[in-house]
């Protein structure tokens, strides 16, 4: 298991997501941003907007996706 925080995804807080793969933690971050939006948390608004844009433009977002996968791969197991 590895841990990646909301901040490592470009978000505003230090909430940690744990997962076996990069996809797991990306999904957890996506859910976290959705929950924050639902809760009316404006500090996560920009990050949520960016994440939404990524799903709409998957090709343009490949760079970001690779970067997140690389960041995850470089993390120590915990
Ligand atoms: Zn957050």
The alpha carbon of 68 is separated from its chain's Cα centroid by a whole number of angstroms, namely 8
Residue 55 pLDDT class (50, 70, 90 cuts)? confident
pLDDT of residue 73: 97
Distance 9 CA to ligand 1 centre (A): 9
Distance 49 CA to ligand 1 centre (A): 13
Angle between helices 22-38 and 62-74 (to 10 degrees): 110
State which H helix or E strand residue 63 sits in: helix 62-74
Distance 59 CA to ligand 1 centre (A): 25
Q: Taking every pair of C-alpha atoms in the chain, what is the biggest distance, in angstroms?
A: 34
Q: How does pLDDT run across 21-38, given as a tens digit for each residue?
A: 999 999 999 999 999 999
């Amino acid at each position: 298991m590895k841990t990646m925080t909301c901040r490592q995804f470009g978000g505003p807080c230090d909430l940690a997501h744990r997962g076996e793969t990069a996809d797991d933690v990306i999904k957890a971050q996506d859910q976290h941003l959705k929950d924050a939006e639902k809760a009316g948390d404006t500090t996560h608004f920009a990050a949520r907007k960016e994440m939404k844009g990524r799903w709409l433009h998957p090709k343009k977002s490949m760079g970001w996706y690779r970067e997140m996968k690389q960041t995850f791969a470089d993390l120590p197991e915990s």
